[in-house]
Amino acid sequence: MFLKGEAKAVGEIMEYGGISIDWIRGKKAILTIYDDGKEIKDILLYELETRNDMHQLMLDEGFQKKTQQQKIEEIQVERIEKQLSYMSGESSLFNNTMAGLYVLVFMVLAGVGFVLRGKKKSRIGTGGVQRV
């Protein structure tokens, strides 16, 4: 993404420990390095030419690739967090289902109103004669 169209690099940067990505639409990629919550420096990632440049930069800045065990633990934590969010009622499926039901009810009520309004107009004729 930030390496001139090499989307694979985004996944590769996550192979390093201590990395989190905040996606900001319309902004160029900048690596901000923190130490104990204190901002140390910004690195303009969009200026890098290749993925190898990115890997070298990460090593030069002291980042280390995650071990296989760390990757497995990270995946397990993500799965547990997802399961807990489903159990606590924060499921987006539930929220999407409820929103869908509200839309459906609104459409049914609007349709019924439209039909009833049409029937009311068809009963009113000219010259006092009602159409059936």
How deeply is 1 buried, as exposed, middle or buried, from its count of CB atoms within 10 A (0-12, 13-18, 19+)? Answer: middle
pTM of the model: 0.48
List per-residue pLDDT tens for the chain, 132 residues long.
Answer: 344 444 455 678 778 888 877 878 888 888 888 888 888 888 888 888 888 898 899 899 898 998 899 888 988 998 888 888 777 665 555 566 767 777 778 788 888 877 777 766 655 555 555 555
26 and 54 Cβ atoms separated by less than 8 Å: no
Domain boundaries, the chain: 8-66, 92-125
